[in-house]
Amino acid sequence: MAESRRDSPLVDPQYSPQSRAERLIAAARVVLAAFAFLGIWLDPSEPTRYVRTAYALLAVYIGYALLAAFLVWRSAAPPGRQTFAMHAFDLAVFSLFMFFTQGPTSPFFVFFVFSLACGTLRWQWRGTLWTAAATLALFLGMGVYAAQVIGDPAFELNRFIVRSAYLAVVAALLAYLGLYEERRRGEISRLATWPLGAPQEVRSLAREMLEHAAAVLGAPRALLAWEEPEEPGLRLACWSGGELQWSRESPGALQPLVAEPLAGTDLLCRDIRAPRPAVFHTSDQGFRRWEGRPLHPDLAARFGVGAVLALGLKGEGFEGRLFALDKAGMTSDDLVLGGIVARQVVARLDRFYLLQRLQQAAATEERVRLARDLHDGVLQSLTGAALQLETASHLLEEDPGGARQRLAEVQRLIAAEQRDLRSFVQQLKPAPLAPFEVEASLVARLKELAHRMERQWGLRVALDVQPIDGGISEGLSHEIYRMVHEALINTARHAGASTGRVEIAGRDDQVRITVADDGHGFPFHGRYDHAA
């Protein structure tokens, strides 16, 4: 479920920030109504007819504008379904106000332009088209009424035509603006939902990245070419129609991918098959034009390249190119968007290779730890068992009872090592224990270790394990056990001790282990602290 949410768009590309749009419209409505009232007050010759009706209508609209602004700015949510009613009410009032103030020649023609802007803010290009259809129909109706019905002498056909064309041009510009903004929101939404999964294979990663990159850039095909310094040879992954083509080239093949003058730049070419293709590329001074074949001929021929957008890739351990193929009508805007997409691809590949290195390092570290634990644990115990068996072999003829006792000790030793191995294998499993369970298991294992040291080496061990605040992890428990085990083995084998004491205490996110014995030590005197 979480993965599906991640891969789906964060928002509908058709969505526009409604609350901010409504607040802007409400504020503009108040300003427009106030200036309309000011205009009538400064020039009372307008309106010449329906004076009382026009003043009353404007006064009512000013009150409505103030109330709407108060409610919209106070509310945290947009009006919702009431938005359409408010838009229709604005159109109706504007039409009546123009009708009462000289109709198609009214100085308040700007109200219709305001309606177009409101439609664009609310519903983007769709709102612009529907509002334009309504305003043009109303305006044309006023013109027909003024010219044919009442024969208004103030009606001017040329002025009416210019205003109609002006309204249509403004509507077209606003519709294109709404369409452009919707497309930009879609691109941003797709960039924000870039896949974040961690495929185990580079082919799966390439398919995922190329499919999403092609969708963001609007290209039918996408090609990824890159090379790792540790593994010479170009890797090629081409996504087209949901299928991925994969190949690996010999070292030096298809090099350089782009022409030498274009190295280190992002470039686009609308048709590389032209006799002298025009190439636009990035530079420190902005976009520049260059003429010539931008791609390696064999690369262009193999993938049938026509239009191409080539983006440079340079990560921590690789470099290459991302190609968006066959997109018609590319512009410099595609270079800007492509640069963002290229950075996303670099980040994904860097993350993939970093995870690979971390997995390899973790596996190597685990192998080293396993070898150390087997050496310090099982091998040491087998050495002790071998000594016990050798002693038992000497006692078989002279003291059969003593020999049997030694063999019993070896049997107990092997049984104890079996338990240790089971515990070790359990730690390799993914299911962790609770902290208190880990601590209890550690105490039990240390007690068993103390008994074994006494039976095997004749070393009596006293344990003092204090409760550790917050508990301990399985990994830390394992390390504590191995450190105590190694210390006691060294005490028994090299110090000639008969008694030992182990103290374990934890405080302030630290664990203190003290191992003392009554044997002889080394010439070193003092204290050696690994934390120093």
State yes or no: pLDDT of 157 exceeds 90.
Answer: no
Per-residue pLDDT of 428-475, as tens digits, reads 655 455 555 666 778 888 888 888 788 777 788 898 888 876 677 777
User: What's the mean pLDDT in 475-491?
Assistant: 82
**Cβ contact 342:322 at 8 Å:** yes
Lowest mean pLDDT among 31-35, 109-113, 216-220, 438-442: 438-442
pLDDT at 229 (0 to 100): 66
- Give the pLDDT band (50/70/90) at residue 415: confident
Percent of the chain with pLDDT over 90: 16
State yes or no: pLDDT of 312 exceeds 80.
Answer: yes
Query: Tokens 């274009």 correspond to what residue?
Result: 262
**Cβ contact 124:178 at 8 Å:** yes
| Contacting residues for 461 by C-beta, under 8 A, at least 6 apart | 449, 450, 453, 454, 488, 499, 500, 501, 502
Q: Which residue, 231, 129, 249, 223, is CA-closest to 179?
A: 129
User: What's the mean pLDDT in 381-388?
Assistant: 70
| Contacting residues for 267 by C-beta, under 8 A, at least 6 apart | 258, 279, 280, 281, 282, 290, 294, 308, 309, 310, 335
For every residue of 443-489, DSSP letters joined together read HHHHHHHHHHHHHHH--EEEEEEPPPTT---HHHHHHHHHHHHHHHH
Per-residue pLDDT of 337-371, as tens digits, reads 999 999 999 999 888 888 888 888 887 887 777 77
pTM, two decimal places = 0.62
Percent of the chain with pLDDT over 70: 84
Which domains, ranges and CATH numbers included, belong to the chain?
2-191 (no CATH), 202-356 (3.30.450.40), 434-532 (3.30.565.10)
Can you point out the beta strands (E) in 285-343? 286-291, 308-314, 319-325
pLDDT at 431 (0 to 100): 46
pLDDT at 368 (0 to 100): 78
State yes or no: pLDDT of 120 exceeds 50.
Answer: yes
pLDDT at 310 (0 to 100): 93
For every residue of 66-107, DSSP letters joined together read HHHHHHHHH-SS--TTHHHHHHHHHHHHHHHHHHTTTGGG-G
Between CA 130 and CA 174 the distance in angstroms is 12
**Cβ contact 111:104 at 8 Å:** no
User: What's the mean pLDDT in 32-47?
Assistant: 73
- Contacts of residues 413-416 at CB distance under 8 Å and 24 or more positions apart, as own/partner, are 413/381, 413/384, 413/385, 413/388, 413/452, 413/455, 413/456, 414/385, 416/381, 416/448, 416/452
State yes or no: pLDDT of 3 exceeds 70.
Answer: no
What is the dihedral sign for C-alpha 351, 353, 356, 361?
Answer: negative
The tokens describing 130, both together, are 């529907």
User: What's the mean pLDDT in 304-333?
Assistant: 90
What is the dihedral sign for C-alpha 203, 205, 206, 210?
Answer: positive
State yes or no: pLDDT of 268 exceeds 50.
Answer: yes
The tokens describing 225, both together, are 């070419």
Query: Tokens 């260059």 correspond to what residue?
Result: 290
**Cβ contact 466:506 at 8 Å:** yes
277: buried, middle or exposed (CB in 10 Å: 19+, 13-18, 0-12)?
A: middle
Lowest mean pLDDT among 33-37, 206-210, 408-412: 408-412
Between CA 347 and CA 350 the distance in angstroms is 5
Helix (H, G, I), strand (E, B) or coil at 242: coil
